[in-house]
């Protein structure tokens, strides 16, 4: 493995918009010469696969600290609140070996890990377009203790299952 992240076209082109690209090799993105950075990336990646993607609210405590701070205005802070949000917003699915959302990058420094995704959407007229989404996590003592994303406050966000935003399942 070269350790270099290779990006590949992620979707059919949309006229007037740059075609998004995603990383083809998640293992390359998870690698780091710094063992602490590699552990933090893997912790966040596995949490995303198991809790957020597979809807396994029963596994939240494996990854999330008890005093978890949530900066998404639609979700209350706290590990138990996150478990309740997961149960209410998505079904349990099989745990997959990789994140299936269109992942562009994993960037990590110090105690922070950021994922960037391509996010397919539809405008008010129903026309498809692509935007980006990010999740930023802070890790302390081997657990995720804080989360940021660009969510806006809305009742729709409470029901949004981000797993429905894969490129093979347009909004």
Which two tokens mark 55?
A: 């809807």
Q: Is residue 52 one of the residues assigned to a domain? A: yes
Q: For the whole model, what pTM was predicted? A: 0.83
Distances (CA, A) of 9 to 21, 61, 150: 4, 36, 24
Query: For the domain that residue 49 is a member of, what is the CATH number?
Result: 3.10.450.50
For residue range 141-161, list pLDDT tens digits in order: 999 999 999 888 866 655 555
- Domain of residue 59, residue span: 7-165
12 assigned to some structural domain: yes
pLDDT digits (tens, 9 = 90+) for 91-146: 999 999 999 988 999 999 999 999 999 888 888 898 888 888 999 999 999 999 99
CA distances to 142, 149, 162, 166, 167 from 132, rounded to whole Å, are 28, 11, 12, 12, 12
What is the tally of structural domains in the chain? 1
Is residue 170 assigned to a domain? no
């Amino acid at each position: 493995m070269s350790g270099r992240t290779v990006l590949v076209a992620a979707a059919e082109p949309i006229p007037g918009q740059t075609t998004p690209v995603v990383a083809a090799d998640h293992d390359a993105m998870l690698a780091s010469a710094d063992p602490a950075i590699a552990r933090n990336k893997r912790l966040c990646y596995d949490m995303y696969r198991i809790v957020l993607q597979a809807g396994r609210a029963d596994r939240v405590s494996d990854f999330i600290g008890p005093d978890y701070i949530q900066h998404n205005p639609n979700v209350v802070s706290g590990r138990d609140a996150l478990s309740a949000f997961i149960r209410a917003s998505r079904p349990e699915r099989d745990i997959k070996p990789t994140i299936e959302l269109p992942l562009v990058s994993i960037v990590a420094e110090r105690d922070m890990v950021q994922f960037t995704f391509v996010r397919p959407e539809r405008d008010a007229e129903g026309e498809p377009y692509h935007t980006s989404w990010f999740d930023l996590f802070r890790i302390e003592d081997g657990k995720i203790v804080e989360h940021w994303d660009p969510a806006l406050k809305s009742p729709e966000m409470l029901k949004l299952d981000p797993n429905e935003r894969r490129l093979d399942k347009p909004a």
